[in-house]
Amino acid sequence: MRSSNSLNSVILGSGIAGLASAIRLAAMKVKVTVYEKSSTYGGKMGVWKSQGYRFDTGPSLFTMPQYVFDLLTIDGLDNVPFDYDELDVLCKYFWEDNTKLSAYCDREKLKKEFHDKLDENPKNIDSFLDDSERKYQITNHVFLEKSLHKLGTYLSWNTFKSFLSIHKVGVLKKMHIENQKQFSNSKTIQFFDRYATYNGSNPYESPATLNIIPHYEFGIGAYFPKKGMRSIVDALYEKAVKLGVQFNFNTDVNELVKVDKGYKVNQEDLVYDIAICNMDIASASQGPLKKLLKAQNRHYKPSSSALIFYWGIKKEFKDLELHNIFFSEDYRKEFTSIFKNHTIDEDPTVYVQISSKCKKDDAPSNCENWFVMVNAPYVENQDWGRLISETKKNILTKLSRILGEEIEKMIEVEHILTPQMIWDKTGSYKGALYGSSSNNKMSAFLRHSNFNKHHKGLYFCGGSVHPGGGIPLCLLSAKISTDIISNDFKIC
Ligand SMILES: Cc1cc2nc3c(=O)[nH]c(=O)nc-3n(C[C@H](O)[C@H](O)[C@H](O)COP(=O)(O)OP(=O)(O)OC[C@H]3O[C@@H](n4cnc5c(N)ncnc54)[C@H](O)[C@@H]3O)c2cc1C
């Protein structure tokens, strides 16, 4: 057994899971050095500013804030400020026939809204959300909070109980088919099918297990950080620095080599006992970890990606909320376009997030900062120049038609993020937002583990490994991998 003070670790990448791993290891008194190819931390959780507008360029929805607080107070000190508001309306939904629906967090208000706007029986909403919570309770502590690749996970009483209830989580059923059975109105079905996109999957292919996702919002709540989404990684970075983590920015890791007593980075002399890879696993296995790992891309189906327009809009829209969805008319066709034809449908569902609704200084007065996103295929030889201009036209036509205003005239600043740019900037293989897709019933088990059984001291965290993508799961991946380290190196 070695004292944790004498252990030396390196983390490849400072995405949110890399930051969380750094905090957890530093709190265990392990020396931590982070190598980050970019000039700043946060990976996909970037920021872009222009002419008085501020945009969070990556995630826009914040759930499970407790996971962030656990990190910020891990050493018993509450010395990094971080605050957020709970949302009353989770999202506002618009359909082409002028139907509008506000998804209230409050269950009673939500049921009334579904009943008033879509004539949906409140009992259907109740039984769906109760089932979503049940699925969450069965799966959470086994499939999300623990490694699926350690024997110990399967030997606990909790796991045994979960496996006895596994038939209740819908692994063998398809999400859309289950939702069709549950609801009477096709708009309600579309509403709940959309949750598959929260991890970049296709509701017509993915298992009904993904129906746990609504519980995160309706059961636990959705939030917005008072200083914007980027402030989540700002706070984590500040905490990591306070705990003594060393960051090397603008430092691309080209090679991680195994030597007698640990790992070396880029032929440098220093040897690390522990290496954690926060890079996308498919990219790492073809790049710096090529000699240590088998290529991960052969059977790897990336999740969907996104095309995002950041628009500074010279007007305030009273009818819009922080999160807004403008649904496509043929949802199945939209997913066929993305996952089978690897293109963006001519009538895409459009997501508009406006952080200036909550954080006024994100836009000049009487203006709004629109984050306009459509789901897009991962990179597969598309002509992005053509797709961007066609999609922009389709989005503008759709938003102008539904909102009754000519939107294009109101755009005063624009920035665009494409799947190829996401790949180039963050190393996310083919631009996937959430690592591998969950379109397969075995996907939870097929995701890469948080450790490597052939190479002692090598671990993995982030959206492309277990338990998956999105802020909460990335934070859990950091907890799982550092718990394994603590056990492997017998750190108290
Ligand atoms: C547009 C968009 C919208 C999203 N919306 C949401 C949302 O609303 N809610 C949500 O929860 N999630 C959302 N996500 C997903 C979420 O952002 C990711 O799951 C999460 O941020 C991934 O974090 P990560 O730790 O895996 O690392 P990443 O953010 O992928 O960072 C990896 C880091 O590794 C670095 N790196 C790569 N290669 C090297 C190398 N060779 N050497 C050194 N460093 C390297 C990169 O520069 C990067 O900093 C969204 C993502 C995007 C892009």
| Span 343-365, pLDDT tens digits | 999 999 999 999 999 999 999 99
**Quick one: pLDDT at residue 140?**
78
Question: Which secondary structure element, helix H or strand E, spans residue 394, and what is its range?
Answer: helix 384-403
**Quick one: pLDDT at residue 9?**
98
Which of the pair, 2 or 422, is modelled with greater confidence? 422
For ligand 1, atom 48: residue with the closest CA? 43
Q: Say yes or no to pLDDT of 87 above 90.
A: yes
152 confidence band (pLDDT: 50, 70, 90): low
Which residues line the pocket of ligand 1, CB cutoff 6 A? 12-18, 35-38, 43-45, 58-61, 252-253, 278-279, 287-288, 306, 308, 422, 426-428, 433-434, 462-463, 469-471, 474
145 confidence band (pLDDT: 50, 70, 90): confident
Q: Are strands 31-35 and 246-248 parallel, antiparallel or unpaired?
A: parallel
For ligand 1, atom 4: residue with the closest CA? 59
Q: How far is the CA of 462 from the centre of ligand 1 (A)?
A: 8
**In this structure, what token pair is assigned to residue 335?**
């997913």
Q: Which atom of ligand 1 is nearest to the CA of 471?
A: 11
**Quick one: pLDDT at residue 282?**
93
Q: Say yes or no to pLDDT of 153 above 70.
A: no
Q: Which atom of ligand 1 is nearest to the CA of 16?
A: 25
| Span 314-347, pLDDT tens digits | 999 999 999 999 999 999 999 999 999 999 999 9
Residue 326: strand, helix, or coil: strand
**Quick one: pLDDT at residue 155?**
59
- Per-residue pLDDT averaged across 394-421, rounded? 98
Domains of the chain: 4-43+228-298+439-488 (3.50.50.60)
DSSP state of 339: I
Q: Say yes or no to pLDDT of 31 above 80.
A: yes
Q: Say yes or no to pLDDT of 164 above 70.
A: no
Q: Say yes or no to pLDDT of 113 above 70.
A: yes
Listed range (142-146, 204-208, 307-311, 342-346) with the worst mean pLDDT? 142-146
**In this structure, what token pair is assigned to residue 181?**
């059975």
**Quick one: pLDDT at residue 436?**
82
The model carries a pTM of 0.95
Q: How far is the CA of 22 from the centre of ligand 1 (A)?
A: 16
Mean per-residue pLDDT of the chain:
93
CB 259 within 8 A of CB 273: no
Q: Say yes or no to pLDDT of 142 above 90.
A: no
* Rounded Cα distance, 137 and 144, in Å: 11
301 confidence band (pLDDT: 50, 70, 90): confident
Q: What percent of the chain has pLDDT over 90?
A: 85
Pocket test for ligand 1, best of 236, 304, 426, 461 (most atoms within 8 A of CB): 426
Q: How far is the CA of 346 from the centre of ligand 1 (A)?
A: 28
Q: How far is the CA of 304 from the centre of ligand 1 (A)?
A: 14
Q: Where are the beta strands (DSSP E) in 398-465?
A: 411-417, 458-460
Backbone angles phi, psi at 172, to 5 degrees: -90, 0
| Span 177-205, pLDDT tens digits | 999 999 999 999 999 999 999 989 999 99
**Quick one: pLDDT at residue 338?**
97
442 confidence band (pLDDT: 50, 70, 90): low
